[in-house]
Amino acid sequence: MKRREFLAAVTRGAALAGAASQVSLPASASESAPETSQEQVGVLVDTTKCIGCRKCEYACARANRPAGADVKEFNDMSVFDAPRRMTPESLTIVNRYDNPQNPERPVFVKFQCMHCLKPCCVSACIVGALHRETNGSVSYDAGKCIGCRYCMLACPFEVPSYEYENIYTPAVRKCTFCYDTLQARGEAPACAQMCPTNCFTFARRDELIQLAHEKIAAEPKTYYDHVYGETEAGGTSWLYLTSLPPEELDLLALPDKPVPQLTESLQHGIFKFGIPPMLLYGLLALAKKVSAPE
């Protein structure tokens, strides 16, 4: 942790100590999250079709830009020289990977919030600023957020980022699944609409899983035999087809069991007995480490 981040964490920890006595714990994610249903939507990402054009990144930046802000085309391909992480300005990113099967054709993978079925971020948030919608989108309410950033520690996919540069109204940022805008009108997310090679299929999650397995069966030489997100961390709304083993593409090998049950019991127990929030940071980090694969 950088010095600035450490100081921010201490400050937020002190603020949280006061806030903790005033808040009531939301219902736990593992108790309240609906199981997969016909309402549950998702996106199937076929990484074998991706050409690394970054149009999806551009579409996301446009969809989430502040009112009146201009967004230039994303033409800089030097960004692929090193792996990137999501930031408050980049809610989705595409990374490039070597392809041992075909060195002339690298593999590109788009990352964003996975919109988990049992989201750890929701269970870790003590004020209910993160919420799982009935269609599977995980929404964020900046008005409720107290900036504790437990969600960032809890997320097994290391997705949420924080607006450290925004000193007045800092917020947690992550992909919204375009829930309040496009999905509300029954449309696919902005990133999925702009892809020129149709990497994305937006549909009901159960249909996507069936489609993914059909594609694997039809083209076993093209696809690695695994639908990433079908079971990882309890299942996710964003699902991936890959040509290589997912862990070679930074799609983390995670246990099938949802992690929230562990973080919830720690969090609820700690606040019940008044243990200081800074200790909770350490325990949540430990819980995440313990739940991670070797």
Nearest to ligand SF4 of 10, 44 (CB atom): 44
Q: Least distance in Å: CB of 206 to ligand SF4?
A: 19
Nearest approach in angstroms of CB 273 to ligand SF4 is: 25
Q: How far apart are the first and last CA of the chain?
A: 22
What is the smallest separation between the CB atom of 32 and ligand SF4, expressed in angstroms? 14
- Closest approach, Cβ 175 to ligand SF4, in A, equals 3
Nearer to ligand SF4, 196 or 276 (CB): 196
CB 136 within 8 A of CB 117: yes
Closest distance of CB 165 from ligand SF4, Å: 20
Assign 130 to helix, strand or coil.
Answer: strand
Bridge partner residues of 111 (DSSP): 93
Helix 260-272 and helix 277-291: axis angle, to 10°?
Answer: 160
Burial label for 160, CB within 10 Å (0-12, 13-18, 19+), is: buried
Please identify, using beta-carbon distances, which residue of 16 and 60 lies nearer to ligand SF4: 60
Token match 């957020």: residue? 145
- Token pair recorded at residue 128: 């209910």
Bridge partners (DSSP) of residue 44 are 201, 239
- How far apart are CB 257 and ligand SF4 at their closest, in Å? 14
**Which residues bind to ligand SF4, rule: CB under 6 A?**
50-56, 59-60, 63-64, 91-92, 94, 108, 110, 112-116, 119-121, 138, 155, 157, 159-160, 174-178, 189-191, 195, 197, 199
Closer CB to ligand SF4, residue 108 or residue 281? 108
Q: CB pairs under 8 A, 24+ apart, for 19-22? A: 19/127, 19/146, 20/126, 20/271, 20/277
By beta-carbon proximity to ligand SF4, the closer residue of 5 and 187 is 187
Quick one: tokens of 230?
């079908």
Closest contact distance (angstroms) between CB of 274 and ligand SF4 is: 26
Cα–Cα distance between 31 and 16 in angstroms, integer?
A: 24
**Nearer Cβ to ligand SF4 (99/275):** 99
Say if CB 45 and CB 200 are below 8 A apart. Answer: yes
Query: Least CB distance from residue 244 to ligand SF4, whole Å?
Result: 16
Closer Cβ to ligand SF4, 138 or 145, answer by number: 138
Instruction: Please report where in the chains the tokens 């549909």 appear, as a residue.
Output: 203
Euclidean distance between CA atoms 231 and 54, whole angstroms:
28
Q: CB nearer to ligand SF4: give 234 or 277.
A: 234
Say which residues have a Cβ less than 8 Å from residue 69's Cβ, sequence separation at least 6.
none
